[in-house]
Amino acid sequence: MNVLFEQIDRVVIAKLNRPSALNALNSETMYELISKLKKYDQSPSVGCIVITGSENVFCAGADIKEMASKNFSQMFEEDYFGYWEVFSKIKTPVIAAVSGYALGGGCELAMMCDIILASETAVFGQPEIKLGVIPGIGGTQRLTSLVGKSKAMELILSGRNIEVEEAEKIGLVSKIFPQTNFLTNVIKYAKDLANYSKTALIASKESINQSLECSLKDGIVFERRIFHSLFNTKDQKEGMNAFLEKRSANFNSMYQLKN
**pLDDT digits over 73-105, tens only?**
999 999 999 999 999 999 999 999 999 999 999
CB atoms within 10 A of CB 156: 20
Question: Residue 124: what are its φ and ψ, rounded to 5°?
Answer: -120, 155
3-194 CATH, one of 3.90.226.10, 1.10.1740.10, 3.40.50.2000, 3.30.110.30: 3.90.226.10
Residue 255 has pLDDT above 50, yes or no: no
Report the DSSP beta bridge partners of residue 126.
none
pTM over 0.85? The answer is yes
Residue 157 has pLDDT above 70, yes or no: yes
| Active site positions, annotated | 62, 105, 108, 128
CA distance 131 to 147: 23
Q: Which value, in Å, is the radius of gyration of the alpha carbons in the chain?
A: 19
Residue 1 has pLDDT above 80, yes or no: yes
Which pLDDT belongs to residue 162?
A: 98
pLDDT grade for 253, boundaries at 50, 70 and 90: low
Q: Are 71 and 40 in contact (CB under 8 A)?
A: no
- Which residues contact residue 15 at a Cβ distance below 8 angstroms, ignoring those fewer than 6 apart? 3, 4, 5, 6, 52, 53
The residue ranges of every structural domain in the chain are: 3-194, 198-244
Domain 198-244 CATH assignment equals 1.10.275.10? no
pLDDT grade for 258, boundaries at 50, 70 and 90: very low
Which pLDDT belongs to residue 231?
A: 97
Which pLDDT belongs to residue 216?
A: 96
Q: Are 155 and 144 in contact (CB under 8 A)?
A: no
Average pLDDT score over the chain? 95
State the average pLDDT over residues 153-168: 98
pLDDT grade for 129, boundaries at 50, 70 and 90: very high
